[in-house]
Structures are given as C-alpha cells and as structure tokens.
Structure 1
Amino acid sequence: MIKDNQKTFNRFHGILDLIALFIAYSLSYVIRFIMFKPDKGFLPWSTMLHYFIYLVPVYSLIYYCCNLYAPKRSKGHKTEFINIVKSNIIGIIYFILVLWIFKKEVNVSRSFISIFFISNTVIMFLYRITLVRILHAIRAHGFNLKHILIVGYSRTAEGYITRIQANPQWGYHVLGILDDTKKEGDMYKNIKVLGNTDKLTALLEKNDIDEIAITLSISEYSKLENLVAACEKSGVHTLFIPDYNNIIPTKPYIEDLGGLPIINIRRVPLSNTFNKTIKRCIDIFGALVALTIFSIPMLVVAIAIKTTSKGPLIYSQVRIGLHNKEFKMYKFRSMEIQPESVEKKAWTTLNDPRVTPIGKFIRKTSIDELPQLFNVLKGEMSLIGPRPERPYFVEKFKEEIPRYMIKHQVRPGLTGWAQVNGYRGDTSIRKRIDHDLYYIENWTLGLDIKILFLTFFKGFINKNAY
C-alpha cells in the first residue's frame, strides 16, 4: 500500500535530512574556523561536534512540525522552500539557546550560526528538489503510484482527471468512476465508469485503493453523508472536491465560528486589521517621501500648465473608492475645460483635441497623477491598488463584467498590478479586472514592493495614454 511506502520514505527522508544537516554543519565549521581563521574565539571540532549532538533530535522534530515530511506529489517548490526556511529559523533560535545555556563563545556563534543557517537552507533545498525530480521520473514511468477511485461524475471529476493525466509525475492512477447518472462502461479519457455508487462498499473491501475522491455534482450532495460514512468506515483516505467553480470562482477559505465552519467566498488579506494598518502606515510614509522628491518637478509642471492654457491648475474628478464611496481624485489639468456632462461619460482618444500640449507630455509620463499623493494622505487612496473609475462607468461595467465591484473592497491606488502589466488607458477592462482581483486576493507586502519596483521601470510611461 502507498501508506506503507510513505512511512518507509519518510524514515529514509529523515535520515537524509540529518546527513544534510551534518554536511551543512561541517561546511560551516570549515568556512568559519579553517578558511577564515579567527584571531580569537577558535573552537575545536570536538567541541562543535558536542553541540551538534543536541541539534539532531530537535531538528528532526522541527522538520516534522514544519510539514517537511508531508506528501509532496503535487506540491510546488515554493511551498517546500518556505517550509525549509521556517524550520531553519526555528532551529537557529534553538541553537542560540543551546549556546547560551552552555555559555560558550557567543561572539563566535554570530558568524558561525549565520553561515550554518544559509548553508543548511541551501543544501536542504537543493537535495530535496533533486529527490523530488527523481521521484517524479519514477512515477512518470508507472512506479510508486497512488491508486484512486472517483465517486461522482461531474465537471469537477473531469477537471480532476484531466490534471492527473497531464501530470504523470504526481504518480496518481485512477482505477475508475462510480456514478448514478452514467451507464456502466462509459468512458472519460480512458477512465471507465465501473457502476453506480452502491458498489462503493464492495470495491473498498476487494480492491487495493489508496484514496477516494468524491466529486459529486452539486445536485447530488444529498448522497454525500452516506458516501463519506462508507469511506470513513473502510479507513481509506478520502478527499472531497466540491463542485462550486461556477458559483465560487476563487479560492475560498474556512473559518471557525464557535464550532460552525464558515466558508468565505473570497479571501481578502487587506480585510485583516493588522495588514490594513501596516499598508496605511507605508502609504503615509511613502506619500510624504514622494511629495518631497517630486516637489520641484511638480512646481515646474504647475508653472507650465498655468502659462500655456486657461483654467485651474488642479483638476478634480469624482471617482468610486473603498466600499463604493465617492471621492474627488486630484490630477494636474491636462485638457481644455469642458462641460461636466460631456466629461463624465467620455474616454480620452488618440489625438484627442481636448488635450493640451503640456497635457500630452504629463499624461504620457503619468506626471498628471502626482497630486493623487494628497488623496493618499487623506486616506481616499493607496499608493498601490486597483485604479478608481468614474461613477458612470462603474454603473456600466458592473452590469457587463462579472465580479467588477469586488475591486472596491480595497482602497484604489496610484498604480497597481494591472497597470504594471500594461492594462492602462484604452485597454481590456476584463483583463484589468482579472489583474485587480488577483491583487486583492493575493496581497502581500512583497507584492506591493514588486509593483512599486515595476512602476519605476515600466509603469510611468503609458503608451495607452492619449
């Protein structure tokens, strides 16, 4: 059975991890005490080996707690790397504690531990990636397979089978499908329908099944309780793959409400108070720094606008922001004065006669957006987020584009994921919304930094700004 194979593999994996730990520890000693001989604080190998003995059992426990021995058939390298870094951070904290208890060479530990942390992380990641690739090759040739029975024919079942067959390195083998709406012998991509769901108990008793995947269509969920009970009774590992892709097109998450599981249809990291506070503090600091840096260019642009055309210096336009609230967004005026009834419904087009000579330049270089730093300070906008739209177009797009209004769950931004990917000005609204939703659901400080970095290199010059 695959479960027994997994246990054996985990033991083997654990031994390899300890070998890698010893290699990293030894390499760190060579680098710290032999290649770069210290003037003082030298520790002999025998002493350092004594400390290593205290690391072995605790590191093994840390690796286990950090999910480094969980099945990895379909896991990505990124998840593995994060778990390795996390385990090594915890391990280093423990190592420092050991040195402190023994009160030995704290000054040496700073450099040695830094080298040890880096070398152990790199060695573990490289050897584990190599091992994963070897296992993928073995599974792709039909060995070490996990045998799966699918219960319920649906769009989800088709998607599950398609992904498994497209990734033979995962090592999954589908034995067949049980379903009450299909005829026995029907096929999907060479996977046969073995009969109706009443056969489940008999197949569980007779076959060497490693896993059951329940993929009922949403109209058949009344059968779910009995099917799960039958699977649990057999002791076979059971997966439930819900058929809600057309209803919930994103990655939902579950939270506990006094023992009652609640499915949140959409994950919005910026709904978290801590995340919101951190982002707001960065917005205020960033806006103040930007205003200081760009104060002279803004002054030059202001003089150029006032001397080349009639009208106000700053142009304000009503936009829809956080929680669908209206606010006035500021820009340097780049167009001739026009009636509000015309302006609020019109896009700027190529060679638009309304654009002033200086306006063409500041629109192309996004300099006209700089007054929005004051919107950021007021809390109406963020440095990074989905671009806000005018009320007329919000009403229009929310009827035409699914999920359009989700963008108003976060503050709009001066720049965003859609903008650095080229979706600015007269470009696809649907593509823009797809990128906005990706940002909303996958927000991290790292993503904000990446967008800010990309904005400096390719976000300011807008080829779609007319």
Structure 2
Amino acid sequence: LLRRPRPALLVGPAGSAQRVAAALLRHPRCGVRPVGIVAEHPDGSGGLPVLTTGEEVQRALIQNGVRDVLTVHPSVRLERGPLLRAMAESGCTVREVDADSPACASREQLAGFSCRRLEMGSRRPGSIGKRALDVTVSATLLLAVSPVLLVCAVALRITGGRGVVFRQERIGKDGRPFTLLKFRTHRPVDEHESATRWSVADERRMPWFCRFLRRTSLDELLQLWNVLWGDMSLVGPRPERPYFVAQFGQTYPGYAARHRMQTGITGLAQIHGLRGDTSIEDRARFDNAYIDNWSLWQDVCILLRTAAALVRPTGS
C-alpha cells in the first residue's frame, strides 16, 4: 500500500473534503491517495481539483483507476445517493468518513478519522433471509387482519367522509423516496402542512375513532402493503418525510447513516420507547446500533417485543 496507494475520490463539501484529503496525504500509511473532490461548488482554497459535473467525475474515475470513494459529510448519502450507487456498481468501495470526530477504537480508522463501509444497493449478508421474513409475515398478517382493515375503512368512511387512505412521501433506503400508506386519522390543511407539521397526536378535533386508531396503532396496518411491495421492511429505522430528513441530517450526527438499511414499521428505537415527540439523537443512535449489529434473530426478537407492546398501546 505504501508503494502503490489506492486512488480515491472524496465526496462532500469542498472545505471538509480538502481537510480530509490533506490528512490522508500526510499519512500515506493509510494506503489511500486522494486524486479529486466531488462537490457542488469549489471553495477557492486550492488543493485537489474539485469536480462538479458528471463528465468530470467519470473522467477522473477512468484516468486514475479509482476504486475507493470516501464521503465526508452525513448528508452526502442522501444528496448524492444516485452518484454513490453508480460508483458502487462500477466496482468502487464507498466509505463514510467522520470528518468532525476522532477515531473510535471500535470503528475502522483512516488517517485518524472514524470510517465505515457503506452498502450502496448491494445485498448485505442475510438480506435474502430478511426479505423472506418480510414477505412471509406481511402476507400472513394481511390475510389475518383483512376483516379488521375492512372494518376500519368502513368506520372511517362513516365518521370522516371520503378518503380513508393517507398517502405521504417518505425517504427510504439510500435516500430513495416512496409513498407510505396509513389510515387517515387527520386531514391537513394543505400539502405543505402535511409535509412539515411534526405531530398531530394531541389534535382535540380528531374524531373519537381516529384517536382510537392512533392509540392502538391500527392506522399503521396498511404499511404491511409497503413491506410486501418492498418499499419497507418489518424491522428497521422508521421512515421520515423529506423536509425533516434534510433538517435532522444537518443537525444530528449519524442521522443520515440510518438510511443504509431498509426502513421499517418497527425497530430497536421503537421498542425502547422512542416514538412520537422523543429525542431524534437517541433514535439515530439506536437505529445505527441496530444496523451495525443486525441479525435475523434480532429482527424476530424486535417483532415479538413489538407484538407484546401492542397489548398496552401508548399511541404514536
């Protein structure tokens, strides 16, 4: 590695990327040689060339034989998701570098920075088993609760009028948007309120049946269709709206890293009481711990604990 370090591209804000690149060049023993930075705008500080177009990135990949890509900001995974997936599909290894924190003993290190490998669209070990569990359980539950779904739909139609299904854009794995399904328990004033209002759990004008659905989490049952279609998993980080994903990704370290696995109906954070108006930082920590230590048995345990919690519902 000292004689022939691996050429790498850094992706992220030009200032942070130049700082990480300089550290890598000062520590050649890490075996990585930065050759360029992919950013929206140059920072004018000199250093490595800043690539701002797809053509420049493609040329750098080919001319330098790049096989390593380093992201230097948590939001890059969402903002540059298609580009990172394309690089991964071309044979590059994509890693996330924590440019603002010292390396931890339990994490991979690179020139003194903590880093971890990102799975950009490739299958994680055991992902086939996870998908098989999702399909089997969601299909079985949909058949079992179909009478309940019908009763809920009819009751909502009678008490609240037309439009019993609520559709909303959420962010899934690798920053991909999808349409999440729920029973409609409230009617936002407009699309802006729907996309940016955090919670309506205390809405006193909500009809009694809608309050019942939210307290018992029955309004979430339609998400079994999202699981069956492959938009979600039974277990994983809860999906959020694009407006809040952008906010939280800038505010809370590690939040964007939650999107390296399929989002879920329930998760490690939820069985520890992190629902509704609870700490986003705590949720991100639990979600990343779940991903880092994922196993099929852990999924089964979380599902069993979720089922037990439904006996004493607290609402969403």
Unaligned runs of 5+ in 2: 1-22, 31-98
Note the C-alpha offset of 1:351. Answer: 2.9
Which residue in 2 is equivalent to 1:87?
Answer: none
Residue 252 (str. 1) matches residue 103 (str. 2): no
Match of 2:258 among 407, 410, 415: 407
* Amino acid corresponding to residue 306 of structure 1 in structure 2: R
1:250-270 Cα offsets, whole Å, 9 max, x none, are 84359xxxxxxxx962587x9
Which residue in 2 is equivalent to 1:56?
Answer: none
Match of 1:346 among 179, 197, 203: 197
Contact 1:252 1:266 in 2 (8 A): no
Match of 1:424 among 275, 279, 282: 275
Match of 2:214 among 363, 372, 380: 363
In the TM superposition, what are the counterparts of 1:172-191 in structure 2 within 5 Å?
Answer: none
Contact 1:331 1:372 in 2 (8 A): yes
* Amino acid corresponding to residue 275 of structure 1 in structure 2: G
Match of 1:385 among 223, 236, 241: 236
Distance 1:418 1:464 in 2: 15
* Amino acid corresponding to residue 422 of structure 1 in structure 2: G
Residue 442 (str. 1) matches residue 297 (str. 2): no
Unaligned runs of 5+ in 1: 1-217, 226-243, 255-262
Which SS does the other structure have where 1:344 is aligned? Answer: helix
Match of 1:295 among 146, 150, 157: 146
Percent identity between matched residues is: 35
Which residue in 2 is equivalent to 1:27?
Answer: none
In the TM superposition, what are the counterparts of 1:275-314 in structure 2 within 5 Å?
Answer: 275-314=126-165
Distance 2:188 2:311 in 1: 25
Query: 1:442–1:274: structure 2 CA closer, same or farther, 3 Å change rule?
Result: closer
Distance 2:201 2:129 in 1: 40
Distance 1:288 1:429 in 2: 31
Distance 1:380 1:323 in 2: 12
* Amino acid corresponding to residue 273 of structure 2 in structure 1: G
In the TM superposition, what are the counterparts of 1:94-173 in structure 2 within 5 Å?
Answer: none
Distance 1:318 1:369 in 2: 15
1:120-157 Cα offsets, whole Å, 9 max, x none, are xxxxxxxxxxxxxxxxxxxxxxxxxxxxxxxxxxxxxx
Distance 1:300 1:458 in 2: 23
Structure with greater strand percent: 2
Residue 373 (str. 1) matches residue 228 (str. 2): no
Which residue in 2 is equivalent to 1:160?
Answer: none
Distance 2:295 2:118 in 1: 12
Structure with greater helix percent: 1
User: Scaled by the length of structure 1, what TM-score is found?
Assistant: 0.43
1:232-286 Cα offsets, whole Å, 9 max, x none, are xxxxxxxxxxxx99344584359xxxxxxxx962587x95444111111111111
Distance 2:192 2:123 in 1: 39
Distance 2:254 2:195 in 1: 23
Q: Which has the higher contact order (CA 8 A, sep 6+)?
A: 2
* Amino acid corresponding to residue 254 of structure 2 in structure 1: R
Distance 1:371 1:456 in 2: 16
Distance 2:240 2:166 in 1: 15
Distance 1:461 1:369 in 2: 16
Aligned residues: 221
Which SS does the other structure have where 1:294 is aligned? Answer: helix
Distance 1:293 1:453 in 2: 17
Misfit runs of 4+, over 4 Å: 270-274, 459-462
**290-299 or 416-425, larger mean C-alpha shift:** 290-299
Query: 1:362–1:417: structure 2 CA closer, same or farther, 3 Å change rule?
Result: same
Query: 1:404–1:358: structure 2 CA closer, same or farther, 3 Å change rule?
Result: same
User: Scaled by the length of structure 2, what TM-score is found?
Assistant: 0.63
Which SS does the other structure have where 2:314 is aligned? Answer: coil
1:322-372 Cα offsets, whole Å, 9 max, x none, are 110111100011113531111211122453135332111111111101111
Which residue in 1 is equivalent to 2:116?
Answer: 265
1:412-460 Cα offsets, whole Å, 9 max, x none, are 0011100011001111111111110111101001110110010011157
